Amino acid sequence: MGCLFAIFAGVFPRLAVFIIWVARPALVNAAFDTWIWPLLGVVFLPFATLMYVIMYVPGVGLRGGDWFWIAVAVLLDLLHWIGAATQRRQLPGYRGGYRGD
């Protein structure tokens, strides 16, 4: 079951964070002080939010090697946003503010 969730989380990180939030709210509540930070994380940085919730240890926080995985997740999120912006400009009929033609 754990491997299935790992594959699922890699494909749908927003849904994975939501499932963790519903199934184990103590994990999310321990990692964040308020509900607004995980909500913003799900919208803008879903992989980083998922990694932060999974790696956070209550009472200890994140250790040295954990920050590496958070940085990888942030990089994946940024690559997702860059890829989405690049693909949008390639759509036929897209009239964006930038005219690089």
pLDDT values of the chain reduced to their tens digit, one per residue, 101 residues? 667 777 777 778 888 899 899 999 999 999 999 999 999 999 999 999 999 999 999 989 999 899 999 999 999 999 988 887 777 666 677 676 555 55
Do the beta carbons of residue 49 and residue 42 sit within 8 Å?
yes
Q: Specify whether the CB–CB gap between 73 and 50 falls below 8 A.
A: yes
Predicted pLDDT at 96: 66
- Centre a 10 Å sphere on the Cβ of residue 10 and count the other Cβ atoms it contains: 12
